[in-house]
């Protein structure tokens, strides 16, 4: 089965710019096409768009018409997906555009060929991310990926892949009382989509043991369908566990902003899809004001700082780390402050510029 998945992975088309970018006019305005709002826009595009100051930025959802958009000097960013009407609009006007960039922050072929994502999600990827590529590649002038590893899955000798690393907003620090409160009642969370099925399965016995040991813990997990049912079958007291369905991105932002947590679990197991991921989970954890436990891996090593907790993917190490954070409020505060520092490191290691775009009157941003 693994060899079949590898064969499918190799056959799935990749984005490959073929249009000339060097002769394009300077950009006067920016158009972002996306399933908006979504985490990719929040993690990678929002802060960079704000930094453009006097450059107009237009956001359009996948179902929005483009008839009111002036295409002269327009640079277009496609974030992961595009639908046929917008693709036709680009085809009819591409000669007048300042450029078209495709941005991707997941190894989409790995998700499709893998065994974790649901079939409806795979169908959406095929329909809106893969199916348009033969036509879209003829228009692309730029290709951006979120990590070096992901860029390596896209690169061939004919085109360049630029790195567009996460650019988080300046974090608003939570009240220290949220971190250092007594251990009388603590909230531990695992927030991940169904694409992380293996991580859900890895955590189930660990969380069950931790909840049996620490009666002051309440656990919250986001899960749907079979994963939700399996969480509810773990034998954890229903009054001490919340199994919530996946939320739309705007609702998730509001939920994690207004309802904090004390401990956040961030496991990441080895695999083709995870190997290409960026460390954006730190942004969510900081927003909640939580102390995090991270898997020891290349993804979370990228912006690691002293005071964070990085451990191997064994039940013993995860249970020990949970014990430490449950029993020591000072250690929770150290871990939370370390994640704040890691976000600043993330900001400093990235650039506000969009790679390769020349804005009219602002020079080359590359």
Interval 120-139: pLDDT, tens: 999 999 999 999 999 999 99
Q: Could you give the count of Cα atoms lying within 13 Å of 150 in the half-sphere of its Cβ?
A: 26
Position 202 scores a pLDDT of 97
Q: Long-range contacts for 176-179 (Cβ within 8 Å, ≥24 apart)?
A: 176/333, 178/260, 178/262, 178/289, 179/262, 179/289, 179/291, 179/329, 179/332, 179/333, 179/336
Helix (H) and strand (E) counts in the chain: 17, 14
Which residues are within 8 A (CB) of 86 and not within 5 positions of it... i.e. 6 or more apart? 33, 60, 62, 66
| Burial per residue of 6-42, b for 16 or more beta-carbon CB atoms within 10 angstroms, e otherwise | eeebeebebbbbebebeebebbbbbbbbbbbbbebbb
pLDDT of residue 22: 57
* Range 321-350 average pLDDT: 95
Task: Centre a 10 Å sphere on the Cβ of residue 95 and count the other Cβ atoms it contains.
Answer: 10
**Over the stretch 206-221, which tens digit does the pLDDT of each residue have?**
999 999 999 999 999 9
Predicted local confidence at residue 183, as pLDDT:
62
3 pLDDT band (50/70/90 cuts)? Answer: confident
At 120 the pLDDT is: 92
Would you say how long the chain is, in residues?
A: 366
Which phi-psi region, left, alpha or beta, contains residue 255 (left: φ > 0; alpha: ψ -120 to 50)?
alpha
Give the closest residue to 156 by CA, choosing from 18, 8, 298: 18
Measured distance CA(293)–CA(291) in Å, rounded: 7
pLDDT of 363 above 60: no
What tens digit of pLDDT does each residue of 239-295 get? 999 999 999 999 999 988 888 999 999 999 999 999 999 999 999 999 999 999 999
Tokens, residue 275: 């190997």
3-state secondary structure of 313: coil
Q: What is the pLDDT of residue 150?
A: 95
101 confidence band (pLDDT: 50, 70, 90): very high
pLDDT, average across residues 30-58: 93
pLDDT at 362: 54
* pLDDT value of residue 360: 74
Q: Which domains does the chain have, with CATH numbers?
A: 2-167+350-364 (3.40.50), 176-347 (3.40.50.2000)
Of 60, 70, 52, residue with least CA distance to 32: 60
């Amino acid at each position: 089965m693994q060899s079949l998945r590898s064969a499918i992975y190799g056959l799935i088309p990749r984005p490959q710019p073929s249009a000339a970018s060097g002769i394009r006019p300077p950009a006067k305005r920016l158009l972002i096409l996306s399933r908006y709002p979504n985490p990719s826009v929040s993690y990678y595009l929002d802060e960079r768009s704000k930094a453009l100051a006097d450059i107009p930025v237009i956001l359009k959802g996948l179902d929005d018409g483009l008839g009111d958009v002036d295409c002269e000097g327009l640079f277009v960013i496609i974030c992961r997906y595009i639908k046929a009407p917008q693709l036709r609009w680009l085809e009819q006007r591409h000669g007048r555009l300042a450029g078209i960039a495709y941005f991707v922050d997941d190894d989409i072929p790995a998700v499709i060929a893998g065994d974790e994502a649901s079939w409806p999600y795979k169908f959406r990827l095929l329909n809106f991310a893969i199916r348009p590529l033969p036509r879209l590649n003829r228009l692309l002038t730029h290709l951006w990926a979120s990590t070096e590893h992901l860029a390596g899955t896209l690169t061939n000798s004919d085109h360049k892949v630029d790195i567009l690393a996460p650019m988080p907003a300046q974090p608003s620090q939570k009240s220290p009382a949220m971190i250092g409160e007594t251990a009388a009642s603590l909230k531990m969370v695992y927030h991940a989509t169904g694409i992380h099925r293996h991580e859900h399965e890895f955590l189930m016995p660990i969380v069950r043991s931790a909840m049996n040991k620490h009666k002051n813990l309440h656990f919250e997990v986001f899960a749907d369908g079979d994963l939700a049912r399996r969480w509810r079958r773990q034998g954890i007291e229903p009054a001490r566990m919340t199994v919530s369905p996946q939320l739309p991105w705007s609702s998730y932002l509001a939920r994690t902003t207004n309802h904090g947590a004390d401990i956040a679990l961030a496991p990441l197991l080895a695999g083709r899809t995870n190997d290409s991921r960026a460390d954006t989970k730190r942004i969510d954890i900081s927003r909640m004001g939580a102390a995090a436990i991270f898997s020891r891996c290349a993804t979370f090593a990228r912006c690691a700082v002293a005071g964070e907790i990085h451990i191997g993917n064994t039940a013993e190490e995860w249970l020990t780390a949970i014990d430490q954070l449950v029993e020591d409020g000072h250690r929770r505060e150290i871990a939370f402050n370390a994640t704040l520092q890691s976000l600043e490191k993330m900001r400093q290691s990235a650039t506000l510029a969009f790679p390769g775009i020349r804005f009219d009157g602002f020079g080359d941003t590359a």
